[in-house]
Structure 1
């Protein structure tokens, strides 16, 4: 058995050998399967139902809303949009943040401009800015993905830049320059693989924040009115004035948001800790 394979298996055991590790991954897989196959098994909630504001029961697991629609079906259908927006927006943020972070770490002439841009982005009030931009471009799932992704890359860029600068100062980078490797080749073949573990962690954490942003924007009426999301379920409960009485209409989508964000965050932290030699005994 080769040494890299042994190291990989050891890291996997450290990352997911604890209850928090494998439970977080199991929850993420459950959410992913629900997003893909759930709408195929559960009818889309629409129209008016006979059972209005019914509490959870064997017939309606998560109860019904003020229109008689099944809240369980709303949560299932909302899983697809919420996860799709979170994953797609995080990928946009990761691509932008990684590219700018690596350029700032290796190309010293660009570093002051990139650092200033990152500082400006981090100083902006993101939620009001997201509300403003979404209101200007129109409410839709696509606009939410683009807006959240374009406004969420700054933290990723700062993280990748700080770690990329450590790698860029290594002797083997100077050796690659001596052998004639150009900047793009060094960034693509040397710096990018070195920071790839941080990219994995950033995808999970950024996706978690994107899900929260999508839920917040949808709750404020900036989401796609033609599709279900967890934020839209909360918005409907607020508009109907049943938050204080029909507790189930807000409890279950809120729990879904909490569990998804918590599992993604714990999985990212455990994966990051598995690569830190100081936590090998944890």
Structure 2
């Protein structure tokens, strides 16, 4: 994720800041000519719509039915699981849960990571302390610690969101800080310091807009990473047992032994996870290419 975000166009200069509306229009014009970027954006929008209108698409899967381990058919598009529940309904409501986890974890990670990044870049005395803290977090084995924390606190939707955000913000902070450090050295920021004595005003008016493209890429990639991590925790039995998620579908298929004999119980949730991660990655790549004048097509 770090290398992809750092491949965005270089730091904004004074002319770029003054011409930001024109640059945004040029970026959009270049982006919409990229079919993979448009396809990724449509796919992500479709997943969001599915999450929002889940009750209109299927009834909430609960209890058990009589059609046990039935393959995909007109009655059950994605087949049924070992308790006769409709897998399509599980995937639909798993989309809602996965998107909720992704949104919550991403918002927290972005807020914490960006705040630490811009403060570290602007206030040099903060950078020493926060730099050590971020390096410490990035050196830790994330997955074992996520499993440990989730197991100790107890499985719930709130726990998963907090755990994912806690281990995601350092990477966001690292990439945003690298861009912000280049921006604070530019002449127009020095001129702003002479014009006003308010660091908060400079950060809000100059620093945050300059690093906004990196933040936008971080949002997409952090969300996809959160979904993937949440699915992994749920597959290990550390997800919220009271709500459906793509990882819970895989976990129950593995626990019941249906994973070996009923391929549909694992195929469709796996495809949903794959679709979101690939779409997020393609969208980020397309956005990076659209922002870079060297790769734009005339």
Aligned CA distance change for structure 1 residues 137 and 39 (closer, same or farther; 3 Å) = same
What is the correspondence of 1:37-186 to structure 2 with a 5 Å cutoff? Answer: 37-186=53-202
- Taking the aligned partners of 1:16 and 1:263, their CA distance within structure 2 comes to 15
Aligned CA distance change for structure 1 residues 124 and 4 (closer, same or farther; 3 Å) = closer
Give structure 2 stretches of 5+ with no counterpart. Answer: 1-18
Alignment deviations for residues 11-60 of structure 1 (CA, whole Å, 9 cap, x no partner): 11212322201100110110000000022331011111111111111111
Does residue 12 in structure 1 map to residue 28 in structure 2? Answer: yes
The answer for the alignment partner of 2:12 in structure 1 is none
- Taking the aligned partners of 1:273 and 1:127, their CA distance within structure 2 comes to 31
The question of whether the paired residues in 1 share the 8 Å contact of 2:101 and 2:157 is answered with yes
Shift of 1:5: 5.1
- Taking the aligned partners of 1:117 and 1:41, their CA distance within structure 2 comes to 45
The question of whether the paired residues in 2 share the 8 Å contact of 1:16 and 1:270 is answered with no
Shift of 1:7: 3.8
- Taking the aligned partners of 2:276 and 2:156, their CA distance within structure 1 comes to 22
The question of whether the paired residues in 1 share the 8 Å contact of 2:34 and 2:286 is answered with no
Shift of 1:265: 1.4
The question of whether the paired residues in 2 share the 8 Å contact of 1:140 and 1:223 is answered with yes
Aligned CA distance change for structure 1 residues 181 and 277 (closer, same or farther; 3 Å) = farther
What is the correspondence of 1:240-251 to structure 2 with a 5 Å cutoff? Answer: 240-251=256-267
Shift of 1:268: 1.6
The answer for the alignment partner of 1:270 in structure 2 is 286
Shift of 1:83: 0.8
Shift of 1:181: 2.9
Shift of 1:114: 1.2
Provide the secondary structure at the position in 2 that maps to 1:243: helix
Shift of 1:4: 5.6
The answer for the alignment partner of 2:4 in structure 1 is none
- Taking the aligned partners of 2:129 and 2:267, their CA distance within structure 1 comes to 45
Does residue 196 in structure 1 map to residue 212 in structure 2? Answer: yes
Q: How many residues align?
A: 280
The question of whether the paired residues in 1 share the 8 Å contact of 2:106 and 2:165 is answered with yes
Normalising by structure 1, what TM-score? 0.96
- Taking the aligned partners of 1:13 and 1:256, their CA distance within structure 2 comes to 29
The question of whether the paired residues in 1 share the 8 Å contact of 2:40 and 2:282 is answered with yes
- Taking the aligned partners of 1:133 and 1:153, their CA distance within structure 2 comes to 16
Does residue 206 in structure 1 map to residue 206 in structure 2? Answer: no
The question of whether the paired residues in 2 share the 8 Å contact of 1:243 and 1:250 is answered with yes
The answer for the alignment partner of 1:28 in structure 2 is 44
- Taking the aligned partners of 1:175 and 1:219, their CA distance within structure 2 comes to 53
Normalising by structure 2, what TM-score? 0.91
- Taking the aligned partners of 1:158 and 1:33, their CA distance within structure 2 comes to 32
- Taking the aligned partners of 2:263 and 2:257, their CA distance within structure 1 comes to 11
